Structure 1
Amino acid sequence: MSRSSDTWCIIGAGMGGKGLVAELGTAGIRLHVHDIDEMQIAGMREAGGLHVEGRDANFAPTALATTDLAAAVQGTSVILISTYGNAHPAVARMLAPLLVDGQTIVLIQGHFAGSLAFRAALDAAGCRANVNVGDMDAYPYMLTVKAPDRVLMTSTKEAWSLAAYPASSSTAIMDRIGSAFPGMRAAPNLLHTAFNDLGGLFHVAGMITNVAMVETPGAYNFYANNMVPSVCRLIEKLDQERVAAAQAYSVVVPNVRDWLVETYALQHPTLEQSLQEMAVTHYRYAPAPKSLSHRYLVQDVACDLVPMAELSRAAGISTPAMDAAIGMANALTGRDFIAEGRNMQSLGLEGKSVEEIVADISA
């Protein structure tokens, strides 16, 4: 693993970014941390890093915590982006003039075809640096932010995947960062990581069916309160459409129950039982959404359900459950997630056949 002579940059210092700081910083990687929000990095700057509970090492130092993106990126070899998927194009535009040859960029997580969307935004912004761009199909850690300078790390996923665009650069990225993420494995191409991203199905189903819980005062556990039998039936309908679409693109993915076994070692007779156990083990302390502007809805509809439904249509696969979920999200928020999300045009796939899409993404 890279040590203090090598510097990595983490862009986005919310819960996800702080989890990366905790894990990588305690492992000895020299870190720069950036966020556009001063409040997200002030605690780390004052403390010189993060206090970490739940790990053998109790402090993760940061060499720099700043709102200055140019300063954060300068002199770094690896750039880990932990922002909302909706923000990926904007981050790419800001990074475009700052990147240099040889840097590795990884979206954690990428959501559906994140590397494709990110590289398209870099190209549109005139980036000429020779960089590798990849994304993970899941965020690896479960944690709680206890204070601006303190996190509690609880557990780590059993397994997750990384792919790149173009696919031929995946090996280089795995060689570069793989030792820092022991549970990560290489996927053949972005379609595999895209169709393996199930978090959005859980999140969107739980949000659109429990709006009153979201919009009334009081804390709650997202999975314990929301994952009742009827919501689990909706998740399984969404999952059936995901699996069918993946098959149309020659991608074999586990169904939701098998995915829970592979990712969290959760195996019960029903989906509800597995998700209820997940609520009290892996996500016991996770804060639940209290607004429909939360990433569980706006990000996961725009960056997961929309592209999944769009690629399904291109393959002639019907997605009534996904279409209903997207329509409900539109109605609840007054937004048009198909227009603003990762549609075929924004991904550069408009008008392409299934065979052309597979050939492009597999290159």
Structure 2
Amino acid sequence: MRVAVLGGGHGCYAAAVELSEKGHEVWFWRRGAEAFAPVLERRSIRIRDSRGDREVAIAHPTLSLEEAIGSAEVVVIPLPADTHEDLAAACAPHWRDGQVAFLPPGTLGSILFAQAARAAGNSADVSFAETGTLPYLVRKHGPAEIVVSAYATRLPTGVFPARNAGHAFGLLEQVYPAIERIEDGLSGGLMNAGPIIHPPLILMNAGPLEYFPAWDIHNEGTQPSIRAVTTALDNERIALREALGYRAPHFPLADHYTLDGDEWMYGNAAHEKLTDSGDWREKIDLKTHRYMREDTALGLSMLVSIGRWLGVETPVASGLLAMASAITGEDLYAAGRTLESLGLDTLDRNAMKDFLHDGI
């Protein structure tokens, strides 16, 4: 299949490698010729994972966004949500009928990308899908080198508009067989694990993060008291899903930490693989890191806004968002990825259901 991968993040490099190895013809785009030069010159990326160390050829590394999107049946965008707004506007003129865009994860990016296309005057019938996590636990170890600690084994995914679900899943499942079909784009947004796992870890580890030169929030920072807050926050997410009538499984984050319970998105023992790798021992700037800008500012604001719309209390999400706003000195809800910012807060439940099914 012809697939485009957009972006220069860890997950983007992993997607370009994995999908190339699976036999897809991959167009790999990122902006910035200097940063992308090693891949453009070598036309390959080096990977190390459980299968060993190897070089993987990338068919079409490119600096042309128009070329990448125009060549593809499926477009994979494994980027943080705080990059979505600019990229959605840049992609908007290039979409064409029948294409499927996949955002792993999305934070309602599926709706934002669709809105950007319409705002640009592009009426192509495109399907935008989102899931709960990156398909990879991955870190770049050089300008053209990655290490993958684990691959996703389950990717609960929703499509916007849901009327296109059959077509979209027919293509997506050829690219990511781990995809599991769920109801719609909002259901997909409420599977996002980032706003559940990362805000408690950075906010409740703020002292050591600011004091030590590097700190592993997933190892030293995942203690019982913090896990208790994470579980309470996840229960709020699940309550929102249940209030909307979405079906189980809801992929509770507690399953990520078990060795033999229900399989979570990365399978059993994924937490141990992550901490054993040592790749998440890092310096995290509490004002600029994506755990703050993506998972907290956008992810928690999404949860809080959905709770307000439904009339469902989200005290843990609201409290963590208030703490983050104090740390950054910004009103993160006001600038967040909310139903208000997407222009959806005035819809009643029936109108929301129709919107999610029919699209814009």
Whole-angstrom distance in 1 between the partners of 2:186 and 2:69: 29
Match of 2:280 in 1: 286
Match of 1:76 in 2: 72
Match of 1:262 in 2: 263
Match of 1:86 in 2: 82
Match of 1:63 in 2: 59
> SS of 1:332's equivalent?
helix
Whole-angstrom distance in 2 between the partners of 1:168 and 1:57: 42
Match of 1:308 in 2: 303
Match of 2:100 in 1: 104
For residue 67 of structure 1, report the CA deviation from its aligned partner.
Answer: 3.2
For residue 245 of structure 1, report the CA deviation from its aligned partner.
Answer: 1.6
The question of 1:147 aligning with 2:148 is answered no
**What TM-score do you get using the length of structure 1 for normalisation?**
0.88
Write the mapping of 1:228-239 to structure 2, written as runs, cut at 5 A: 228-239=223-234
Match of 1:13 in 2: 8
Q: Deviation digits for residues 273-325 of structure 1, max 9, x if unmatched? A: x95x36435x6423545212111111012332111111111111111111111
Contact 2:5 2:12 in 1 (8 A): yes
**Structure 2 residue identity aligned to 1:64:** H
**Structure 2 residue identity aligned to 1:286:** W
Contact 2:93 2:117 in 1 (8 A): no
Contact 1:312 1:318 in 2 (8 A): yes
Match of 1:324 in 2: 319
For residue 254 of structure 1, report the CA deviation from its aligned partner.
Answer: 4.1
Q: Deviation digits for residues 141-161 of structure 1, max 9, x if unmatched? A: 122322111112222122112
Match of 1:28 in 2: 23
Contact 2:154 2:267 in 1 (8 A): no
Contact 1:133 1:165 in 2 (8 A): yes
For residue 217 of structure 1, report the CA deviation from its aligned partner.
Answer: 4.8
- Which residue of the other structure, out of 237, 242, 245, is the alignment partner of 2:240? 245
The question of 1:201 aligning with 2:196 is answered yes
Contact 1:198 1:256 in 2 (8 A): yes
Contact 1:289 1:296 in 2 (8 A): no
Match of 2:170 in 1: 175
Whole-angstrom distance in 2 between the partners of 1:136 and 1:242: 15
> SS of 2:219's equivalent?
helix
Q: Once superposed, which parts of structure 1, at least 4 consecutive aligned residues long, lie more than 6 Å away?
A: none
Q: Deviation digits for residues 210-249 of structure 1, max 9, x if unmatched? A: 1233334523322002111221121122112112221111
- Which residue of the other structure, out of 217, 220, 224, is the alignment partner of 2:219? 224
Contact 1:266 1:278 in 2 (8 A): no
For residue 17 of structure 1, report the CA deviation from its aligned partner.
Answer: 0.3
Unaligned runs of 5+ in 2: none
Change (3 A) 1:288 1:169: farther
Q: Deviation digits for residues 65-103 of structure 1, max 9, x if unmatched? A: 333322333322221112221221221111112223332
Write the mapping of 1:118-129 to structure 2, written as runs, cut at 5 A: 118-129=113-124
Whole-angstrom distance in 1 between the partners of 2:289 and 2:4: 25
Whole-angstrom distance in 1 between the partners of 2:321 and 2:201: 13
**Structure 1 residue identity aligned to 2:254:** R
Match of 1:270 in 2: none
Q: Deviation digits for residues 32-63 of structure 1, max 9, x if unmatched? A: 22222334422211211111222378232223
Whole-angstrom distance in 1 between the partners of 2:15 and 2:327: 33
For residue 343 of structure 1, report the CA deviation from its aligned partner.
Answer: 1.4
Deviates more, 1:321-330 or 1:340-349: 340-349
Whole-angstrom distance in 2 between the partners of 1:228 and 1:152: 26
> SS of 2:137's equivalent?
strand
Whole-angstrom distance in 2 between the partners of 1:165 and 1:106: 10
Whole-angstrom distance in 1 between the partners of 2:124 and 2:184: 22
Whole-angstrom distance in 2 between the partners of 1:184 and 1:157: 9
Whole-angstrom distance in 2 between the partners of 1:135 and 1:324: 26
Whole-angstrom distance in 2 between the partners of 1:17 and 1:359: 33
Deviates more, 1:353-362 or 1:88-97: 353-362
Whole-angstrom distance in 1 between the partners of 2:141 and 2:27: 21
Change (3 A) 1:225 1:355: farther
The question of 1:114 aligning with 2:109 is answered yes
Whole-angstrom distance in 2 between the partners of 1:204 and 1:123: 33
Percent identical among aligned pairs is 23
For residue 198 of structure 1, report the CA deviation from its aligned partner.
Answer: 2.0
- Which residue of the other structure, out of 43, 50, 60, is the alignment partner of 1:48? 43
> SS of 2:133's equivalent?
coil
Whole-angstrom distance in 1 between the partners of 2:68 and 2:281: 29
For residue 16 of structure 1, report the CA deviation from its aligned partner.
Answer: 0.9
